[in-house]
Structures are given as structure tokens and as C-alpha cells.
Amino acid sequence: MGSIPARSGLVTAFDELPPFHPLNDDDVRSYLHKAVDFISDYYKSVESMPVLPSVKPGYLRDELGASPPVHPAPFDIAMKELRASVTHSTFFKACRLAGFDPANFRSIPTGPETDYGVDPVKLLAAMQADAMAGLVPTYVCATVGTTSSNAVDPIGDVAKVAAMFNVWVHVDAAYADSACICPEFRHHLNGVERVDSISMSPHKWLLTCLDCTCLYVRDARRLSQSLKTDPEYLKNDASVSGDVTDLKDMQVGVGRRFRGLKLWMVMRTYGTANLQEHIRRDVTLAKMFEDLVHADDRFEIVVPRNFALVCFRIKTTGVRAADEVNRLLMANVNKTGKAYLTHTVVGGRLVLRFAVGSSLQEERHILSAWELIRKTSSEMMN
């Protein structure tokens, strides 16, 4: 504000109010510095912490009052109380939201013959059958690096098939697209020049904190034609002139946080060389784990590893028995609180997932986790 006029004798109820200032700049500085120390101390000691919380669901509810405090709690106490406590599937949710009848979704089954990537021939057959039945194929979603197993669909071939039906082709590369900043992984995107859109989430593997997702579209006008709104109170010279890209016309909501800023800070702070190095390091660590699994006859790799996820399992005769043995191995490893395995089902078989991706992970952690898995398996088999 520029000039400040004298009070001019105006009387308001305001004069009686106690002097509460929501934002005291000295407090801001002091509280935020304390919060930074809290986070820094947490990172420093993260290795000593169990990967599974020691608390049960609902414990925090008992710790909290039924209502918020009437008066402020000291900031230090609030910080102290802090110490306590996984997209493919989302696609089907999105289709339901968009008003498509679930009866009209098609999942193309995949198998080991294509390393669990989609077979374009099967896709073509499914689309042709639908078209013959009088349905209108509308949208194809291919995936590079599925969440479940990191399998990769051949996007160029998928796009060629889709082009016969004039449908929108989207590529979900939420996790794996980060790897494509390295030339040696970029071939997974071959054919991307034929698709309509592709999404990737730097919060998954590019050192950017949750949440940050990039969506690239070939023709942005097709997005804004669907999502444009024009309320009077949002009109301004810049938006009316068309000089700016009005993001409110390209998303569901109106307001948005400036997520691009944190991604920009990450790119600036690390540089591409270090970001590539970070990806290569994780992939090397995953490959190291894969080699350890390969070297032990009792285990098998189920889905060929593409990035930093290893899908493996104990070999046992009989599908049912193998699923149970692997589920038990996972439970026993996780119980230790030293490592945390997740599972998925690939081709009807339960598979264990070993994911490398923590920014603090080192070679010794991989070795120690494998040692834990090996030892736990041996104990179970005796």
C-alpha cells in the first residue's frame, strides 16, 4: 500500500478486538526453521527406524481430543506430537466417472510371450469385434511401466492399431517416464510421436515431492474445448487476449498449486546429469538384487526387469502352494520391520515386488535386504 490516510475519526467495532495477527513474520521464520530441523533430524536418523509402524489403526484417534483446542498449543508441542505413525486401477475409475458403462471397458490380457506388454494383434481383434458389434471404440490407454509389474506396452504399435479406429491414445508412463531422461531407456517411448497424450509423475521417481504429474497433449485445444469455463469474475485482459495459457480450462478444478515450481527447483538444483545418475543408480541397485535372485536356484524372476522393480518369487511345485509360500515369506520379512515387500498377481500367480527408489538407499541396504529374504526363506523351508 502506498499512502496511508489518517484515521479520520472513524469508529468501528474493530478497536475493541484483541491484537491477534494471523501471520507474524518473526513467528513464521522461527516456526519454519524449527520445522526444517524436525525434517532434517528425521532424515538423519531414518535408517534406525522400522519400516512398519508399531501402532495399530485408530491409535491416533484416541490421542486426539474430540475438538480442536480453543487456545493455541505451543508450536514445539505440536511438532512433538507429530512423531507417531499405491494407477492402472485408477483408469477404470476414471472411465466410470466419465460416464462409460463398465461393460464397455476392455482389458487386453497379457502373458509371458510379450513380457506382459499388450499384444497389438489382440488389441486389434478386440477393437474390431467391438466395432462389428456396433460399438464405437473411443479411447486406448497404453502403459509404460505398469505399477503392478513395470511391464511395457509397445506404444508405437498400439497407436498404429488405434489409428484405424480414430480413437484417442493415451500413454500412462507415470513411473517409468522418469527413466526416459536417460538415453538408454528412451526406446521404451518409441512411437510416442503417434499418441495424443502422455502422463508422467515426477513425484514417483524424479526426486519431486508428492504430488506433481505432467500431462503432455498433442492438441491442447481439444482439452480446453471440453473443460473451458468462463465465469465473469475470472475474466481479465490476459485471459481474454489469449496471450496466456489459462490452466483452469485444461483441468477439472479452477485453482491449482504451482507444482511446476518444485519440479523446476529439482531440475535446477540437481541438473540433468545428477538426475540421470540417480535413475541409473536405482536401476543398478535393482539389477544387483535381480542378479542375487538369479544366483539362488530356489527363486525365479517372473517379469523381466525393465526399471528398478524386481518381480520375483520362491519356486515351488503347485500354483496354490507356491502362492501360499510366497505370501508367508512376505509376511515374515515384513514382520521384522527391516524391509518391506509388496506383492502383485501376474498371470494368475502371486509375485513379490522388490522396489528400489528411496533417495537414501545404498548398496549395503540391498545386500542386507537380500540376506534377510534368503535367511527367512531358509528358516521357512526347514
Where in 11-50 is the site for its own copies (CB under 8 A)? 12-14, 17-18, 20-23, 25, 28-29, 31-33, 36-37, 39-40, 43-44, 47
For 102, what's the count of Cα atoms within 13 Å in the CB-facing half-sphere?
Answer: 6
Enclosing H/E stretch for 375 = helix 363-381
With CB under 8 A as the contact rule, the residue among 9, 58, 102, 134 that binds its own copies is 58
Number of shown-chain residues binding its own copies (CB under 8 A): 119
**Which residue lies nearer to its own copies by CB, 320 or 364?**
364
**Which residue lies nearer to its own copies by CB, 94 or 163?**
94
What is the side-by-side order of every strand in the sheet holding 309-314? Answer: 299-303, 309-314, 349-355, 342-346
With CB under 8 A as the contact rule, the residue among 155, 157, 175, 278 that binds its own copies is 278
Piece of 88-96, 104-112, 127-135, 162-170 that binds its own copies (CB under 8 A):
88-96
Residues 120-179 that bind its own copies (CB under 8 A): 147-148
With CB under 8 A as the contact rule, the residue among 199, 216, 287, 328 that binds its own copies is 287
Residues 194-223 that bind its own copies (CB under 8 A): 207, 210-211
97 binds its own copies (CB under 8 A): yes
Termini Cα distance of the chain: 78
**Which residue lies nearer to its own copies by CB, 130 or 246?**
246
Three-class secondary structure of residue 290 per DSSP: helix
348 binds its own copies (CB under 8 A): no
284 binds its own copies (CB under 8 A): yes
CA pair distance 374, 296, nearest whole angstrom: 9
CA pair distance 342, 331, nearest whole angstrom: 9
CA pair distance 323, 351, nearest whole angstrom: 8
- CB-count burial class (<10 Å; 0-12, 13-18, 19+) for 82: exposed
With CB under 8 A as the contact rule, the residue among 129, 164, 234, 319 that binds its own copies is 234
Active site residue 216: no
**Catalytic residue annotation:** 233
